[in-house]
A and B are shown apart, each in its own frame.
Chain A
Amino acid sequence: MDTIFSLDFILTVVQEAFRVKCIIFSALGVFTGVTVGAIPGIAGDIAIALLLPFIYNLEPVAALGLLLGIYKGSMFGGAISAISFGVPGTGGAVATVEDGYRAKKNGYPKKAMLTALYSSATGDVISTVILVFLALPLAMVALKFGPKEYFSLYVFAILMISLLLQGGMKKGLVAAAIGLLLGCIGMDPITGTTRLTFGIRHLRGGMPLIPLLIGMFAISELMTQYLKAWYHNRSKYSKESELSESSSKLSKESGYNPSKDIMSFKVYLSSLKATLIGCVMGTFIGALPGAGSSLAAFVSYGAAKRLSSHPEQFGKGSLEGVAAPEAGNSATVGSSLIPLIAFGIPGSATAALIGAAFMMMGMQPGPLMMQDNMPVMYTFFVVILYASIMNLGIGYFLIPIYAKISMVKPRFIFPVLFILAILGTYASRNSIIDIWLLLAAGLLGTLLKKAKYPLGPLVLAYIIGPGAERSLRQALLMGRGEWSSLLKSPIAIGFYAVTIVTIILITKAKSQEKFS
């Protein structure tokens, strides 16, 4: 303890952390992460995996700054395409599409992106501070989560999101059930029995996430929006339509008013409550190994809607609906490193890659990591903190560029987005079959969207369904097949109680809405 607070130690740490090389590599990492995250299909972990062999030649802190910068940047980067095109760039940005894309259509894309940026940075900083000061206590809490507790959390998340999103409760539950069924495709997590593959070898490992995500959101959105928009221009070519097409900015005729799309501190404050809810949810859920940024984003969204003074605005372009999931998913960055550093257990797939990087640097993640590598670890913490600030700066610089790109003529952006979706999907697993699945998911997404089935619960249920099934069956195995064993945990009982209360309150609120 004395060593940490001695002046010499602090000076050494600060000196190492603020070396030019460190700063440059961290900035490069953030820039790469934001760019990569904005490309549908390519998540930060692909960029990290590709860069891993090159970090041998870098000093440990510079290398880790680079990789962590990518991780942080990609969390915000996913929001850029979510807001601009309705296509989540990463799994964590799926919840952002609900209100973010609507905000852009309502005429304030820049405000939405800046809200996403500021709340992302807030979530990032808060979870990093918690990582530095409260890693071990939070890790001990995370260890208390076993199969029973995970299952109760998943039930809470799926039900809450299905009931809260636009489209009605029944359609939400149907969508969630479809997502659960899609998640059952492939090898059963407990016995390895293949299910619903119909003899197709490629489906043995399950329906892959990237094609489903990109297909459901990107392809379906592109199909429904842009091709409709060009009906009138195609049917009657005229000088007027060419002029309106050639305008690369949303004109006043289309309702865009730049003066209404200005971000201010007041606007940030109005969504601060949602941001803080996202920070708390994201930090906690990120510390649970395997829970994931998508779950954090959705739970944050649901909780923010529940606690908002204007819940009716959610789903219609509410900035709170952007702030909460973005804070939630970015807050998982710092907290997913907590179990890694405390026990050597990575909190996410990306954290596992960071863990591999630690090992390549000669630092073994685990209980002795802090003790054996104190100067490097505290330097690393300082780098993480200023990388969060860099994320803010670089994001602020990139937003006007991406905002302009989002306003490029649809007939140019649509095919390019389509190509990006396909190449991004191919890049994730080098599989042509994935691309066919992408198109099939796009068709499914289009059909469901037309009938107003919400896609959020479907994707969330698909993502957490396998984990929920595994937890349920693990809990039943440990309880010797007794269903009552699921209630033998105070944490699980707590989640079930909150779930029941939430269902009652939501149902009541919706009935009152109907009558009024």
Chain B
Amino acid sequence: MKRFFLNYDLFLSGFITFIGLAGLVYFQFGMSPGPTGPFIFPKFSCFIIFIFGVLTMIDTIGEKHADTDPEVNILSVVLFGILSILYVLFFSRIGVITATFLFLVFSFSILSPKGVASLKSSIGYSAFLTFLLWIIFVRIFNIILPQCLLF
């Protein structure tokens, strides 16, 4: 069982196969009046997912799982993920320009080798890039973006 979850490929194939099976069961109870009904394509897709999902799982079980992927800085990934979600959440509340500026400032800091120590230079680059994006999207393409009080 542990090997199943540690082998990511196998785990994902298994999950996909499960989705295919779940879909087949779900659409079995849907209305499908003949071959021209609305559920024929979803059923067909789930069928293919299930069959080839099973075949992929069989292939994967036989393979030796070797973790050759380079390490990932989990903290950076998590921080960046949180930042991204916050950016989208506040996008329409505090205005695109403000949100973009703040996002860039913190992103550059997270990704910088110096970390928080690079906050000052991050502010400068962020302001410039935000201004550039504003020129392109709002001024040149005249796209209406969510605004706050000032911008």
A105 CB, nearest partner CB in chain B, Å: 14
Question: Given that A451-B12, A481-B36 are contacting pairs, would A230 and B73 also be in contact in the complex, using a CB cutoff of 8 Å?
Answer: yes
A sample of 9 cross-chain residue pairs with beta-carbon separation below 8 angstroms, ordered by A number, consists of A180-B44, A181-B49, A191-B37, A228-B72, A422-B87, A422-B88, A423-B100, A465-B41, A473-B36
Q: How large is the interface on B (under 10, 10 to 19, 20 to 34, 35 or more residues)?
A: 35 or more
B18 sits at the interface (CB 8 A): no
B25 sits at the interface (CB 8 A): no
* B104 & A50 in contact (Cβ 8 Å cutoff): no
Q: Is the interface of A mostly helix, strand, loop or mixed?
A: helix
In the bound complex, residues from chain A placing their C-beta under 8 Å from that of B73 are: 227-228, 230-231, 234-235
A404 sits at the interface (CB 8 A): no
Interface residues of B in 132-151 (CB under 8 A from A): 133, 136-137, 141-145
In the bound complex, residues from chain A placing their C-beta under 8 Å from that of B111 are: 226-227, 230, 234, 410-411, 414-415
Q: Which of B46, B59, B91 has a CB less than 8 Å from the CB of A435?
A: B91
Instruction: State A439–B46 Cα separation when bound (angstroms).
Output: 24
Look across to chain B and name the residue whose beta carbon is closest to the beta carbon of A235: B73
* B125 & A412 in contact (Cβ 8 Å cutoff): yes
Query: Digit string of B17-48 for contact with A (CB within 8 Å is 1, else 0)?
Result: 00010010000000100111111111011101
In the bound complex, residues from chain A placing their C-beta under 8 Å from that of B84 are: 418, 439
Instruction: State A46–B137 Cα separation when bound (angstroms).
Output: 12
Interface residues of A in 409-462 (CB under 8 A from B): 410-412, 414-416, 418-420, 422-423, 426-427, 430, 432, 435-436, 439, 447-448, 450-453
In the bound complex, residues from chain A placing their C-beta under 8 Å from that of B142 are: 50
Q: Which of A195, A430, A453, A465 has a CB less than 8 Å from the CB of B38?
A: A195
Q: Which 6 A-B pairs have the closest CB atoms?
A: A415-B107, A411-B111, A188-B38, A177-B48, A181-B45, A180-B45
Q: Is the interface of B mostly helix, strand, loop or mixed?
A: helix
Instruction: State A39–B140 Cα separation when bound (angstroms).
Output: 14
A178 sits at the interface (CB 8 A): yes
* B56 & A170 in contact (Cβ 8 Å cutoff): yes
Question: Given that A184-B42, A426-B145 are contacting pairs, would A481 and B96 also be in contact in the complex, using a CB cutoff of 8 Å?
Answer: no
* B88 & A432 in contact (Cβ 8 Å cutoff): yes
* B35 & A476 in contact (Cβ 8 Å cutoff): yes
A257 sits at the interface (CB 8 A): no
In the bound complex, residues from chain A placing their C-beta under 8 Å from that of B100 are: 419, 423
* A231 & B133 in contact (Cβ 8 Å cutoff): no
A301 CB, nearest partner CB in chain B, Å: 22
Instruction: State A268–B9 Cα separation when bound (angstroms).
Output: 39
